[in-house]
Structure formats: C-alpha cells, structure tokens
A and B are shown apart, each in its own frame.
Chain A
Amino acid sequence: MKEINWSQFWSTFKKTYSIYLVLLALFIVCSFANPNFLSVNNLTNISTQLAVTTILAFGQTLLIISGMLDLSQGSVLALSGVFAVSAYKATGSFTVAIITGIMTGIVCNILNAVMVSTFKTPPFIATLAMLTMARGVALLFTKGQNILQLGDFTVLGQGSIGFVPIPVIFLIIFAVITWYILRHTKFGRSLFAVGGNEEAAVASGINVHKVKYTAFIINGIFVGMAGILFMSRVNAGLPNGAINYEFTALTAAIIGGTSFSGGIGSAGGTLAGAFIVGFLDNIMNLTNVDSYMQQIIRGAIIALAVIYDIRSKNRRTKSTLGRIEDKGSRRKGKGKGITESHK
C-alpha cells in the first residue's frame, strides 16, 4: 500500500484552501475579540453590507482572470442606480427599474470593451475614462442632487425572504453564477486561457475579442444589479454614491487569491476575500478602532495579500522549473547511459 506523504498533502491543502483557513482563523479571533460579533444579527448584517461590493468583486474576478480590470465600477454603479431609481419613480415598475439599471451597466461596459478590445487601450486607462464619464452623466442627470422618496423600491435592498435579507440572496445567486461560469463553461476556460497567455490563446483558436466583450458584458450585468441594490439599501438615488467601491472590490478579489497577472482566480476565493475584509471592518467598528488606524490596517492587509500572491507564484514557477530541469537531467542521464552502453 502506498504511504501517505503528509508534507506533500499539507502543502497541496495549504495551496488550495489557505484563504479559507485565514477566514476561519479571523472568524475565531473576532469571536473572542467582541461577544457581539457572533450574534446572528451581526453576521446577517455583515453579509448584507458585503453584498454590493462582493457582487462587484465577482465582476472584477472574471476580468482580472482574463488579464483586465474595471476601475469604473463605482461610477457605473452610481449611474445604473440613479437611472433605475428614476425609472422606478416614473413607472412604479420593478421590472422596468431592474432592466434600466442592468442595461445601463451593460452599455457602459460594452464601451469599456470597445476601448479595450477593439482599440487596444490598456484596461486601466479605458476604464479610468469610463469612471469619469459615468460619474459625469450621473451628476448631469441628477444636477448633483440626491433622488429621494423611493417608496417600495427599498424592498430590494432592505427586505428579507424569511430570515434571509434579499441582498444576501442576490449575493448567493451571483456567487453561484460566477462559480459556474469559471468551473463549468467553455467561456470560463477561455477566460483563464486569455489571461494566462493571450498569444497562446489566439494560437489555440480562442476568439479573444469575443471573450473580452463577454467578460465586460457580464461585469456590466453585475454592476447594474449592484447599483439597484445599493440605491435601494440607502433609500436614495445618490449620484455621488459608491465612490472607490471598485477598490474595495479589487481588494476582495486580490485577497481572495485572484492574480493580477491573469489566469488565476476563483469565485470561492473572492467570496472569502470579501468576508475577510468585511469581518475586519466589522470588528474594528465593534471595538471602536480609530478611523485612521482602520485605513492603515486595511492597507497592510492588501500589501500582505499581494506579497503572498507574488511569493507563492515564484514558488510555483521555481517548482515547475525544478520539475522541468529534473526531467531534463533524467532524460540526459538516460541518453548518456544509452550512448555508453553502445560503446
């Protein structure tokens, strides 16, 4: 019988599940740090608060895996949200509001895709341009003023089905969609291929344009829906809302192990990353940690996550190189032996 190599098992386990171990450890530490942390109310609260940024983070995950990113998420969210709110106020229909919000997200992201894929603009610059434009349109449309009195529209962001808040239900739906796309679809595999090595993806017959457009369109749907939930939750159409949310989303994705170099990432990792950030924010507020200190801690966590990402990638590259060299030398050895035996 083959003996179990525990050290190898542990290293594989660590590589695959380390993010969940970190989340578990943090959960335990937080439970001891403040007795209120473990209350059902507080945990529901954290999940509701995280819904919007985590849905955005799923959008970022799809884009980062394929070697792109979206800096316009916060602005497009605000634009989708104020359009959806206005549509609801004008028609009183949830369907019209949701379609308006999602279509706004899609249109903005098609423009992002045009800039990135058709005109080959770096995603950083293209989406930065969209960040400014979308915010400008939201402000122009509302004349810089908040839209008030949303009436029943708040149900989406503040209501519950049973004891589960509606935003959390949306969070679960979007998590499953992202997981399914990445693990079980040809498009998901193409995302990894394009992000891993674009030229190789082209050579293997993948339609890179189509993959990039689709990734942005899916991101648009996510951002549009996040906008609707956000405005509904705060009970107002805020043209200035969700500033810097793209960075919170990027943080969740990166902490969750999505690699900025592309080709690596998962829905579960991003979800765990979002909850790590959420638990930290929550415990710092429960224990009344100073505002400035909170910023420092958040920054340090991102730095640690990125360092970990780079180190583990180097280790992986080294071990792959090691394996290749090892195989190479064995082949050489074999070759030598053959030659020698011929002698």
Chain B
Amino acid sequence: MDMSDKDKLELDNKSEDCMNYHSSHLPSDWQYDSNNIANSSTRLIPNEHPMTVCRGGLSAPSCSSGSMANSFGPTVWQHSQPLGFNGIDVNNYASTSNPLGFSRGVPGSLRNVVEPGWEAASSVLKGGLFLPNVPGHSLSQFPADFSFIERAARFSSFSAGNFGDMLNYCGDHHSVRPHLRGGTVMQCPQEAFHGNVMKSVLDGQPQKDEITVAGMAMGATLLGGHGPTEWGPSKNEGSVERSQGVKMCGNESDEAEFSGGVGDQEEPSLMDTCREPSSAKGVCSKKRKKSGQGVESEQANGVQWPSDEAAKANSEIQHTGDQNPTSVANKTTGKPGNQSSKASDPPKEEYIHVRARRGQATNSHSLAERVRREKISERMKFLQDLVPGCSKVTGKAVMLDEIINYVQSLQRQVEFLSMKLAAVNPRLDFSIEELLAKDMFLARNGPSSTLGFSAHMPIAYPLLPPSQPPAIQPALPAIGISSDAMERNVTSHLTHLSSGYKEPTPQLPNVWEDELHNVVQMGFSASAPLSSQDINSGSLQSGHMKVEL
C-alpha cells in the first residue's frame, strides 16, 4: 500500500493526465515517449555547452513526462534520455511538463512505515521520486519514468556496493518494469541500496518488492554491468544508456535528479527546487532544496556513496529558464550558506547553479573558478576544431602553441598576399565583374585552400621566418610564407586547372622558387612538380601548377 499509495498520491497531484490508474497496464504504460521528453526538454535549451545541459537534462524527462515533474523543468535532454527510457510510458502522465506534484501529505500510516527509508530516499531522490500516498492504487501509476530511472541511475552510482542484495531480486521480477521499479526504489535512498530498508518496505507490499528489484536492477546496470540480465533488453539498454548518460553527464547532472525526490513528499515545491543541483550525495556540502533539506542532509550524510561514481557525477550546472552562462557571479548554489534558499525557484531563474564536486572545496570562489575552467576548456575544444591539425593535440600548452603558430602564419600570409597584391596592383582595374568572379573563386578556393594548408602546416611552421615589413626585391622576407602561399596557389590552381599565368611583373627573385620547390615537393605529391626552370622559362603546361611569382 505504501509505495503504490504514495505513487498514486503523487499522481493525483500531477495533472489529470497523470491520473492513469491502470494497474494491469504497468508494463505498457511505461513506454517512454521520447517525443514528449524531447519536446519538453527542448523547451528549455540552454545556451551552454551540452555538457552542462546534461545535468538538467537528466531531470528533464521526469518533468516532461509530468509524472515526477521535477522542478528541473524541461531542460534539454541530452544523450542519455532518449536512450534510456524506453520502457516508460510518458503518455500516461501529463505530457506537458508538470511541476513536480509531490503529494502533499503522506498518510501517517504510510509515513511511519516508509519514514526511515523514505526520508533517506528523499534526500537522495529530490528530483521527484516521490511516492504519493495514494491508497489502494496499483503500482502502475508509478510516476517513476525518467526521473526514477535517473535517480536510480544516480543512486546506483552512488552506492555501488549495495546492490548486491538488490540484485538478488532481479531475477524474480523479470517482467517488472525496471524504470517503474527503480523509481519507487529510489525513493529510499541510502537504505534502499543497502537493501535493508527496501526489504522491509518491500515486505509490506509485493509491489514494492518489484519496484525495489527494479530499482536495484537499474542501479546494478547503472553501476556498470552488474548485469541485470533478467531485465528485458529494452530495460537493459535503457539503463545502460542511462548509465552512459550518467557517466557522460557525470560532471553535470547527476544527483540533482535524485535530490529532493522522495523526501519532500510534503512539498510539491520540491519539484521546483529539484532544479537546483541537489546532489544525492550525502557528502556533498551543497544543500538540497529547502523542504526536505533537513531530513535529507541527515540521511545523505549517512549514506556512503561510492566515491568514484559520486565523484564523477558531481558538479552540476543547471540552467534555469534564462541561461546566464557568463554570469559567474550568479552562482547562488555555490554559497554554502544559501542552500535552503534555493528551493522553489521559478522556472525563469537566471542563475547558474553549480554544485561542488565531492571532496572538493565548496567555496564560492573555487566553484566560480571551476566554471571558468570549464568554459575555457570548452573554448579550447572549439579552437581545436578551428585550427587544422590539432585534433590529436592534448593539453593546453601545446594547443595554445598551435593556435599561436596558426595565427602567426595567417598574419604572415596576409602580409605576403598584400605584398603580392601591391606588386600586381597597378596592372589591375577592379570592377564589378571582378567582384563576382572573385566570389566564384572564393567558393572554389575555400575547401582546397584549407586542405592544402592543413597538409602543410607542420612544414610551413619551420619555414616561417619572422615577418618583417618586406621590400620585395631584396632578401626575401617571409620566405616561409611565400612557400605557404605558393602551396595554396598551387592548390587553388589545381582546382581551377588554370592553364597558367602570364608572368606578372617579375620582381620576385628565384630564391623563392627554390623554397617553394622544397615545400611543394614535401607536401604535394599530386601537384605537378614546380621547377624554377618552368617558372623562369615561362613555359606553362596546362594542368601544371605554376607558382606565380
């Protein structure tokens, strides 16, 4: 009665769609409607890096499904979501993201029974794993779906060691939907995992038993291969994916989902607070949502989370309605003293909540520092894509070196090209046709230039001498650049297959040709070999790339 009752109660609090009491339906009901989740999750698309979004994302499904309507709201549901929650039938529950509808009051009798486990669970499952105290309803209304699964995932990650007991149950309840079960199970945070509380709880209700088993199974899978073979493939992959998602989003989303789930039965506002990164980790100094916080923190502290997983899924940056990624100052959750005030944030909060990692300082400064570091690393990754030939480079210093070299080489190329333009300029009469033609050239040159350049970057670098304001005829300035430019000319010409150039006003000495020749030979096997003789003699062969001097 307890678990199902709670579930029902919770469902009641949700939108009427949630009220879907089909006890027999349970398996089918839990088909995850990815669309719902995706739709709702897309509603809140943070500007931040997806990594950070993940944190909120994990909670999103619960919100979107409307069942456990986390206060996390429809954050973007990144990798893990669509994969993991196949079994959950979101349709049964409000498709729109409902605010977490924690049941207002757990019946006294129920509470007594579940109290020990639930309170602990609540601390862990803030996200909305709330079991409404709905008497007499079957477990099918269990609004676990995503939120549950996530929490289960989180939960399992936290207490990896405790799943042994729970695994025993796995085999028995093969048909039981893991998600569903997991959700309910999750509600008993630490104890559940220890297996004791759950058992006691389970003993009371056979349904709960299933749930616990499911939860355990989920936890087991999430822990990376405890092998809930009993569960159906969909479940497995769901949980596996979830675990992947959890791992992927380890840094971000994690506990927030758990937090505030179960414990705050009294407080529907917990759902709102679920947005807050309330990690299930007891050790985390970050505070939970206001409501269950007192209880949760007690229990959370009591739980021993496996350090590795917990540590991984620690920091969480949540994006509320208005992402404000650059506002480091807005991290309210970082402040140790403000935990309780976080709760009941409206969806349009502008702060970025950061949660301290397990075992790390929770000082607001260090949190801000961490966010800043993450931003920097994200931008470094983007730069890595931009600079050719940097995909294998790891490490900031080397990457920065590459970037600096690339910028310098680009600047020198501009210098060299301006030199060339100055040389050929007097001959030219620019006109509109030229513009149009140039656009055409640009379109064609784009890819080829890049390719040519990337191939020769390592070669080009050593050749680049320090750039100086050149006089064209005297000692060749920026010979390296000329080589680069020549190469690129060659590349571009390759694409055009221009028949050749009329020699421009001959100003550049032959030394460049030698340089170019070396470089070209190194880089361009495809291009026709350029020889100074060819250039000097002016004999142009179609299909051969002539370096224009």
Is B truly associated with A? Answer: no
